[in-house]
Amino acid sequence: MNGELAKIRLDRIRSLAENCRLCPRRCGVNRTRGGTGACGAGRRAALFMEYVHWAEDADLVPAQTLYLAGCNLGCRFCQTRAERNRLPEIELTPALFRDILARGREAGAATVNVLGGEPTVNLPALLELFAETGDFPGLVWNTNLYGSSEAFELLAGVADIFLGDLKFGNPGCAAGLAGAADAGEVARERAEEIFARSPEALIVRHLVLPGHFACCARPVLEWIGRRLPGVRVSLKTIYAPPPGLAPADGLNRFLPREEAGAALELAREIGLRLTRDAPPPLPAAPGTASRPGSLPTVCEALISPEGGIYLRHITREVFEAARAAAAPRD
């Protein structure tokens, strides 16, 4: 992360925030004077969870992961909505941010992964933090890509990696699943712009949703093959239903193995450059466990009807507990 470049771009981001044009909703709120945008983000970034994550793609872990409040989409399948609704929020001050970075380094973090919510709606506050903090390695902008072209242009050279979601294959699914018919189109435009500036700075991610192979997974993967040749692709086939979905909701089920297999087979047929999942971490040596963070971490284990085990918010301690639980016993 280039702190000097963040400092140079502060004036430009403030002009976007005075009449907020950070995302396609262009709600026009004056964020510099304490106004709250349609996304729920305000003048300062607020943090609701942080920990060193061990289950992202192999190139990114271990990742000091910061979950920020505020999002401009309303995805029914959101994996962090429950935590955002029930966990306390803490203002992400420069002192807290430096402390988090220090704890991440101590725990062996290779990258700093900002997500949410959606980090782009917090861009003015984050650029100020980055400018004050100075350089640090491995900033991952973990994003739904539903942001304005101007906002993402200001991130060029500041973020080291863009981990961008390409979720929807058509406007109907985007409207029904996320409340924004243009979400897929905007995400594709931002992905092409980032790729044109720096192909290796982009990893595109597609989460295969149950019942959405033909309408979303297939067109998204085929589009990636045509328009982003050679880009790294994080294909997620481990969908687990988040809490709060109605029993009759088609997303309130685990991804069937047949649909997961079909997506992986299609990706191989197209010749996509799939990323590798990170291997489990080695057991921590005595006395090297990460120090407790400033905020609670909610770790969950879910078991599918087929017996699959899904872990959510995976720390080193969770991996080690899962390994111990799975170990054969006398």
Give the CA distances from residue 137 to residues 68, 219, 248, 266, in Å, rounded to whole numbers and listed in that order. 20, 35, 45, 35
Cis amide leading into 117 (omega within 30): yes
**Is position 183 within any domain?**
yes
Any idea what the CATH number is for the domain that residue 105 is in? 3.20.20.70
Give the model's pLDDT for residue 1: 84
Give the model's pLDDT for residue 290: 44
List the beta bridge partners of residue 113. 65, 140
Q: How far apart are CA 301 and CA 291, in angstroms?
A: 22
Q: How far apart are CA 122 and CA 20, in angstroms?
A: 11
**Is position 319 within any domain?**
no
**Is position 37 within any domain?**
yes
**Is position 324 within any domain?**
no
**Is position 27 within any domain?**
yes
Residue 298: CB partners within 8 Å, gap ≥ 6?
49, 83, 87, 312, 313
Q: Which residue has the tokens 């060029």?
A: 156
Q: Which residue has the tokens 């905020």?
A: 295
**Is position 177 within any domain?**
yes
Q: How many domains does the chain have?
A: 1
DSSP letter (8 states) at residue 278: P
Give the model's pLDDT for residue 289: 42
Q: Which structural domain, as residue segments, surrounds residue 229?
A: 3-295
Of 96, 111, 97, give the one whose Cα is nearest residue 54. 111
**Is position 330 within any domain?**
no
Give the model's pLDDT for residue 88: 92
pLDDT tens, per residue, the chain with 330 residues: 888 999 999 999 999 999 999 999 999 999 989 899 999 999 999 999 999 998 888 889 999 999 999 999 999 999 898 888 889 999 999 999 999 999 999 999 999 999 988 999 999 999 999 999 999 989 999 999 999 999 999 999 999 999 999 999 999 999 999 999 999 999 999 999 999 999 999 999 999 999 999 999 999 999 999 999 999 999 999 999 998 899 999 999 999 999 999 999 999 999 999 999 876 666 654 444 444 455 666 666 666 777 676 666 767 666 666 555 555 554
Q: Report strand pairing: 139-143 vs 161-165.
A: parallel
**Planar angle of CA 154, 189, 38, nearest 5 degrees:** 65
As a whole number of Å, the end-to-end CA separation of the chain is 50
Q: How far apart are CA 288 and CA 282, in angstroms?
A: 12
Report field, pTM of the whole predicted structure over 0.85:
yes
Give the model's pLDDT for residue 305: 72
Give the model's pLDDT for residue 208: 98
Of 7, 8, 27, give the one whose Cα is nearest residue 18. 27
CB burial string 196-232: b at 16+ within 10 A, e below:
eeeeebbbbbbbbbbebbeebbbbbbbbbbeebeebb
Q: How far apart are CA 37 and CA 27, in angstroms?
A: 7
**Is position 310 within any domain?**
no
